[in-house]
Chains A and B, each alone.
Chain A
């Protein structure tokens, strides 16, 4: 299965600023997924990123707030823009493990604190 390198692992940011999170996969994958895990909560899908097309956002998430890039089949970035304390969460990227039923591999996550 794929190995994902996600960075930064954590950051503390000032409100009003932006942070870009990177995910590098060791193999080519069609779709990459970005999740948010708010403190004490489950994972919520932010968007699905396909190479060569705009990301597909879930209800409650918009491109202006969470712009995503997918320049090639092994890399993606998620930017958290104009941050507020409510954006303090763990952000994770994920890819399918190959076969449709084999589950997903997750990056180690980015723990973001907005002050």
Chain B
């Protein structure tokens, strides 16, 4: 593993199903983030974690949950998917504060 790894790369999901998007980093970064990217809109923050054991809500947290049991992993769970959650999801990490973000390659999720 080098950098940030996201899985799966893409997924088609039936509405109402539960789904966990995985994110793992090997850079020992304290801060991790989940964003969604939709056409014509800027990246929108879903949830973040400043350090292992803590999480916070971003701009669009409804319908999503996260956990940060250790430094490396930051999974994002959709408890009951809805079509409006169709998007490209990016996980990112940084050393904190005003340092640049490193992004994973994204998960393209389609909810039907």
Are A and B part of the same complex? Answer: no
